[in-house]
Structure 1
Amino acid sequence: MTSDFIAVLANPSAGRGRHRGLLPGVLQALGAAGHPVRPLVAGSGLEAERACHDAVAEGAVAVVAVGGDGTVHRALQSVAGQPVGFGVVPAGTGNDFANAVGVPHDPLKAAEGISAALRDGRAHRFDLARTLDAHGERRWFCAVLAAGFDALVNERANRMRRPRGPRRYDLAIMLELARLRARGYTVSVDGTEYSFTSEIVAVGNCASYGGGMRILPDADPADGLLDVILAAPLGRIGIARLKPRLRQGTHVRDPRVTVLRGREVRIQAEGIVSYADGERLGPLPVEVSCAPGAVRLLR
């Protein structure tokens, strides 16, 4: 079997399918690097991860994720901490990691950049975050881990069958706001423990999640640190007023909001299922550590 190939994981439904017709052009642009291009076949998230792991084991020179943060999250599980190159072609509704690390917004230009990087033998090192749950399972993530109100919204939306599309998420927000209550948290950052009640807790390797909501506006995926946001109880009105400010990241000026920074974070709370890069991880507690330079990004 051919080694030194480019493995491509594409999510045809990413971005609600609006980039579906671009895939042939992306594959052609990647092929200009002089390596065979092999699209990976997967019918589920777990199959996608397995296909990426198999590609790396078979000698792929690079794994390229074509999609949003969810597709990136799946592909990262195979390349994190490995010498294989990683490329991102942003084609999702949320491309937060791609935006944070300077990937061109245009999918074809992003693919051309990956191809040129392979030809020139250059790559950029960026940090990743790694989680450890109560069952000993480890996962990598690239952008933000949500462990508060937004995690509750994701969990509810995933249980709902209707309505379809973004309206389901909007309805989930309304339903969770109706039953909003601050929960007790214990958060440890580099060994210093904080106990408090809150509705908002998140850990970021990058500044934004959810397609540009700058929950941790100063987070830098190349500084070897994680940013952690905590907020005093805000209530329904406070949450509603805070949300519009997330696009600019100005919510961190609110005196009720605290941002911490560290290499090791542990979060404990009852009744919360954490989400990272928009993907379900599992119930708290969770430990999060920063892995400096864990991915070789081609751009």
Structure 2
Amino acid sequence: MRQFTAVVNPAAGRSSGTAALLPLARLLREAGAGLETRYSRSLDHARELAREAGERGDAVLAVGGDGMAGCVGGALSGTGAVFGLVPAGRGNDFARALGLPTDPDALARVLLDGEARPVDTIEVDSAAHGRESVLGSVYAGVDAVANRHANESRVLRGAASYYAGGLRAVAAWRPASYRITVDGVLHERRGYTVVAANSGYYGFGRQIAPGARLDDGTLDVVVIHHAPKRLFFAMMNELKTGAHLRRPQVEVLRGKEIRIEAERPLPYGADGEVDGQLPVTVRVQPGALRVLC
């Protein structure tokens, strides 16, 4: 029987994180599993708690949204530890890519009986932050600005915060000139964003890269070229189904190592958190994380 350590997002903390964990904890303990719950003080503290639990041989549960999943999963990447996810955030896009259920009974069965499947992670390398690992995607441009607005929202929640943040970001956006180097080949483009995707989803269920797979050892690089803003707003709706890929303004490249640069300071984000400014280099780490799914 598995021993679990649940690391709870400091933002989710005593509200949504606890609400998601309590019924699941009861089911795990009734089945005979051990469970220790740790509330992190920060994302750095969450990484520390995750590594300590993994070194003890516990299966480590990230309780929160995509930022928490990326934080805990990234800390365990390459360690051999077992990672589990309890979706309790706004987007939950990595859980969506894994096909995880939200029903406590179904999720408990996955965590108790599911196999630890190897999935890829992303190494992110930047001058400001050094090297760290994340799970879903790294995005540089208008979507990073939109995500910052969504995270700062105190009124709107869920999909509404992402949509409002997107509208605000696009309205103020100026086209950016990018230099995108994919496995040593340079592509110069002008547009809205560059997304290096391990998972197909980001931004609350938007299918930015429908062809991305978590275990294929490759990243899908989605480039949205310059277009009139009215067309970009239409594309925001098409992201729900992946229909944006049919537009000539959308290009998909694929590779294992991607460097993204721009002619002006631009933010990049990863797994729902805005981490820094370009340039950034990302590399796929094949099969680096063992995930219960």
Q: Structure 2 length as normaliser, TM-score?
A: 0.90
What is the aligned partner in structure 1 of residue 279 from structure 2?
285
Of the candidates 249, 257, 261, which is equivalent to residue 256 of structure 1?
249
In 2, the alpha carbon distance for the partners of 1:56 and 1:288 equals 25
Pairwise CA RMSD:
2.4
- Structure 2 counterpart of 1:39, which letter? T
In 2, the alpha carbon distance for the partners of 1:208 and 1:26 equals 25
Q: Displacement, 1:126?
A: 0.8
What is the aligned partner in structure 2 of residue 116 from structure 1?
113
In 1, the alpha carbon distance for the partners of 2:219 and 2:242 equals 17
Q: Which has the higher strand share?
A: 2
SS in 1 for 2:268: strand
What is the aligned partner in structure 1 of residue 64 from structure 2?
67
Q: Displacement, 1:96?
A: 1.4
Summarize the alignment of residues 20-99 of structure 1 with structure 2, pairs less than 5 Å apart: 20-31=18-29, 34-57=32-55, 59-99=56-96
- Structure 1 counterpart of 2:21, which letter? L
- Structure 1 counterpart of 2:288, which letter? A
Deviations 1:16-38 (CA, angstroms, capped at 9, x unpaired): 94564342221233335655311
What is the aligned partner in structure 1 of residue 218 from structure 2?
225
- Structure 2 counterpart of 1:230, which letter? V
Q: 1:161 to 1:6 in 2, by over 3 A?
A: closer
Give me the identity figure in percent.
34
Unaligned runs of 5+ in 2: none
In 1, the alpha carbon distance for the partners of 2:174 and 2:29 equals 52
- Structure 2 counterpart of 1:83, which letter? G
In 1, the alpha carbon distance for the partners of 2:224 and 2:167 equals 20
SS in 2 for 1:271: coil
In 2, the alpha carbon distance for the partners of 1:185 and 1:294 equals 29
Of the candidates 181, 186, 191, which is equivalent to residue 188 of structure 1?
181
Q: Displacement, 1:115?
A: 1.3
Q: Displacement, 1:267?
A: 0.3
Deviations 1:100-119 (CA, angstroms, capped at 9, x unpaired): 123223243212211123xx
* Corresponding position: 1:150 with 2:143: yes
Q: Structure 1 length as normaliser, TM-score?
A: 0.88
Q: 1:136 to 1:116 in 2, by over 3 A?
A: same
Note if contact 2:5-2:37 (Cα within 8 Å) is conserved in structure 1.
yes
In 1, the alpha carbon distance for the partners of 2:257 and 2:40 equals 34
In 1, the alpha carbon distance for the partners of 2:14 and 2:203 equals 14
Q: 1:182 to 1:22 in 2, by over 3 A?
A: closer
Of the candidates 253, 268, 283, which is equivalent to residue 274 of structure 1?
268
* Corresponding position: 1:234 with 2:222: no
Note if contact 2:10-2:42 (Cα within 8 Å) is conserved in structure 1.
no
